[in-house]
Amino acid sequence: MAVYLRVLLILTGLTGIHSITTVSDVSVKTGGSISIPCLYDSQYRNHVKYLCEGYYFAYCTYAAKTNQQNSRKFSISDDKNQRIFTVTINDVSGANTYYWCVVEINNGGDVRQYFHLSVTGDRPSLSVDNQKVTGLIGGDITINCYYRNSGEMKWCKLGSSCVTSSSGSIGGTTGTINASVPNVFTVTMSGLKLESSGWYYCVKGDLQMPVHVTVLERPSTTTAESNHVTVLEQKGSVSVDLKKYVIPLSLLIFIVMVALFILFMLRRHKQKKTETPATRAAEEEITYSHVKHIKKPTNQRSDVANDVDVTYSSVVHTRKQHEQKRSDVANDVDVTYSSVVHTRKQHEQKRSDVANDVDVTYSSVVPKRKQHEQRVEENNDNVTYSTLA
CA distances 264 to 94, 130, 250, 273, 296, Å, are 86, 74, 21, 14, 60
Task: Of 141, 128, 164, give the one whose Cα is nearest residue 213.
Answer: 141
pLDDT given for residue 118 in this prediction: 94
State the average pLDDT for the chain.
74
pLDDT given for residue 162 in this prediction: 94
CA distance linking residue 362 with residue 367, whole number of Å:
16
Pair 335, 381: CB distance under 8 Å: no
How much is the average pLDDT of 304-309?
42
Backbone angles phi, psi at 242, to 5 degrees: -65, -40
The most distant pair of C-alpha atoms in the chain lies apart, rounded to whole Å, by 177
CA distances 45 to 128, 131, 376, Å, are 30, 24, 127
**DSSP designation for 196:** G
pLDDT given for residue 18 in this prediction: 55
pLDDT given for residue 185 in this prediction: 95
pLDDT tens for each residue of 320-346? 444 444 434 334 444 444 444 444 444
The answer, yes or no, to whether residue 317 has pLDDT greater than 50, is: no
pLDDT tens for each residue of 39-84? 999 999 999 999 999 999 999 999 999 999 999 999 999 999 999 9
Count of residues in the chain = 389
Look at 143 and 309; give whichever has higher pLDDT.
143
Look at 304 and 282; give whichever has higher pLDDT.
282
> Which domains does the chain carry?
1-124 (2.60.40.10), 125-220 (2.60.40.10), 284-388 (no CATH)
pLDDT tens for each residue of 123-166? 999 999 999 999 999 999 999 999 999 999 999 999 999 998 88
The answer, yes or no, to whether residue 218 has pLDDT greater than 60, is: yes
pLDDT given for residue 249 in this prediction: 84
pLDDT given for residue 243 in this prediction: 64
Look at 184 and 321; give whichever has higher pLDDT.
184
CA distance linking residue 79 with residue 91, whole number of Å:
24
pLDDT given for residue 339 in this prediction: 47
Identity at 351, one-letter amino acid code: R
How remote is the C-alpha of 55 from its chain's centroid?
58
User: What percentage of the chain exceeds 70 in pLDDT?
Assistant: 59
Look at 173 and 309; give whichever has higher pLDDT.
173
The answer, yes or no, to whether residue 279 has pLDDT greater than 80, is: no
- Report helix, strand or coil for 194: helix
How much is the average pLDDT of 258-282?
74
Which residues, 6 or more positions from 121, have their beta carbon under 8 angstroms from its beta carbon? Answer: 29, 30
R_g (Cα) of the chain, nearest Å:
61
pLDDT given for residue 122 in this prediction: 87
Task: Of 56, 54, 74, 55, give the one whose Cα is nearest residue 65.
Answer: 74
The answer, yes or no, to whether residue 377 has pLDDT greater than 50, is: no
How much is the average pLDDT of 313-318?
47
Identity at 138, one-letter amino acid code: G
Pair 145, 50: CB distance under 8 Å: no
The kind and range of the H/E element at 376 are none
Helix and strand numbers (H, E) in the chain are: 3, 24
Task: Of 202, 199, 190, 200, give the one whose Cα is nearest residue 145.
Answer: 202
pLDDT given for residue 192 in this prediction: 95
Pair 153, 198: CB distance under 8 Å: no
Pair 51, 66: CB distance under 8 Å: no
CA distance linking residue 80 with residue 82, whole number of Å:
5
